[in-house]
Amino acid sequence: MKFIVHTDGGARGNPGPAAIGVVIEEVDASKTQVLARFGKRIGNATNNVAEYTAVIAALNAVIAALSAGKQEVGESPDIEFFLDSTLVVNQLNGLFKIKDPTLRQLNTAIRILEQEVGGVTHYTAVPREQNRRADFLVNQALDT
């Protein structure tokens, strides 16, 4: 089982009112279908906290889908994340140190969720143009 996940987080002001956007697609041999698509406000936060929070929300949604019987017995999921935050991707991939204590806590929460999901999780940085759907959901949540 494979999941393609696009996440984004943003804050108007830094920190300021913040929101996340998540699009999760399930991919199998015959089709790709949207499993979840949502945006929501998360209160006041920095851009980086919003980016991390979006990854956490997406992992929780994947866990919920797997718990609902979407995964076949013995199958480990492959999850490919696409974010437009190079900093967060490099921190999640272990390439950059995490000095901020809040981001370190969020990173630890993600590692725990990755263990719960099992399988392999990949993080890739993409230009904002390739992350439009998640970015749209962030802005839509902030505008309402």
Please check whether residue 11 is in contact with residue 54, taking contact to mean a CB–CB distance below 8 angstroms: no
2-82+103-143: CATH, from 3.40.50.920, 3.30.420.10, 3.40.366.30, 3.30.428.10 = 3.30.420.10
* pTM metric for this prediction: 0.95
How do the pLDDT tens digits run along the chain, 144 residues long? 899 999 999 999 989 999 999 999 999 888 999 999 999 999 999 999 999 999 999 999 999 988 887 555 557 899 999 999 999 999 999 999 999 999 999 999 999 999 999 989 999 999 999 999 999 999 999 998
Say how far apart CA 89 and CA 48 lie, in whole Å.
11
Which is nearest to 59 in space by CA: 14, 22, 28, 96? Answer: 22
Structure tokens at 31: 């089709």
Structure tokens at 60: 């929780």
CA dist 130 → 82, 85, 138 (Å): 9, 12, 15
